[in-house]
Amino acid sequence: MNKRKPADRAADFEQAIQEASQTEDRYVLRLYVTGSTQKSSRAIANIRALCEQHLQGRYDLEVIDIYQQPVLAKGEQIIAAPTLIKKLPAPLRKVVGDLSDAGRVLMGLDLRPMGEESSVGH
């Protein structure tokens, strides 16, 4: 057997671990809104501000208007809007409302320990 195989396997393993950790650090978010209402606009502004503050360069945010794309909302079982869904990293989480409670949103994104009180204000 070739003596380079274990080293190759180790390098492959290390590369796989590095790729997995990069994927876990990336947040994939979907925000479902209802048209251009004040509540929808507020939710969009709130989540963008939180993402820029806490996830700068590590997130993808897709805003979906359920009036324009009702099939997507049905597929995600959206029953209220605005609704934010954290697709990645696992576990999947949903936060409903205008996302003005920064502590609740951060907890929903797993960015703040459950017992820590929110000191972030908007």
Q: In this structure, are residues 114 and 104 in contact, taking their beta carbons and an 8 Å threshold?
A: no
H-helix or E-strand containing 88? strand 83-88
Contacts of 31 (CB under 8 A, 6+ apart): 43, 44, 47, 61, 62, 63, 64, 82, 83, 84, 85
The pairing of beta strand 27-33 with beta strand 59-65: parallel
pLDDT, position 73: 92
Contacts of 37 (CB under 8 A, 6+ apart): none
What is the C-alpha separation between 101 and 106, in angstroms, rounded?
Answer: 9
Q: In this structure, are residues 109 and 27 in contact, taking their beta carbons and an 8 Å threshold?
A: yes
pLDDT, position 122: 42
Residue 41 phi, psi dihedral angles, 5° rounding? -60, -40
Mean pLDDT by 10 residues, the chain (122 residues): 60 60 76 96 97 95 96 93 96 95 93 52 43
pLDDT, position 21: 47
CATH level 2 (architecture), domain 27-108? 3-Layer(aba) Sandwich (3.40)
Whole-prediction pTM value?
0.72
Structural domain boundaries of the chain? 27-108
Neighbour tally for 71: CB within 10 Å: 8
